[in-house]
Amino acid sequence: MLDGWWIEGHIEGFTGWSIGPPPTEIKLVENIDTMDVDDLYNKLKDIIIPLFYNDRPKWIRMMQNAIGKNAYYFNSHRMMRRYVTDAYIR
């Protein structure tokens, strides 16, 4: 699901995958859970499981990409620096 930091942190097929449609401020779709489940199962069946079992080097690169691209930015040190800057310095 695209919520929280994953909206900013994921790069589809490079650091991981999104599940379901992109979020909107006003949800106009009533069956969003059904869409999420369908997308999850389709990505597992067609992309994620085949990659995990059939192309281990690519799977490992993706896991390294996820750590390398996200860990440096989404951490408590950056969060506190930004909080102090935005709340007290500006």
* Distance separating alpha carbons of residues 29 and 11, to the nearest angstrom: 24
Tally of domains within the chain: 1
pLDDT score recorded for residue 28: 57
Confidence at 39, pLDDT banded by 50, 70, 90: very high
- Pick the range with the lowest mean pLDDT from 26-30, 46-50, 56-60: 26-30
SS3 content of the chain, % helix, strand, coil (to 5): 60, 0, 35
Tell whether 1 is covered by a domain: no
Mean pLDDT of 7-27: 80
pLDDT score recorded for residue 32: 75
- Provide the domain limits for residue 62: 6-89
Confirm whether pTM is higher than 0.75.
no
Mean pLDDT of 22-29: 63
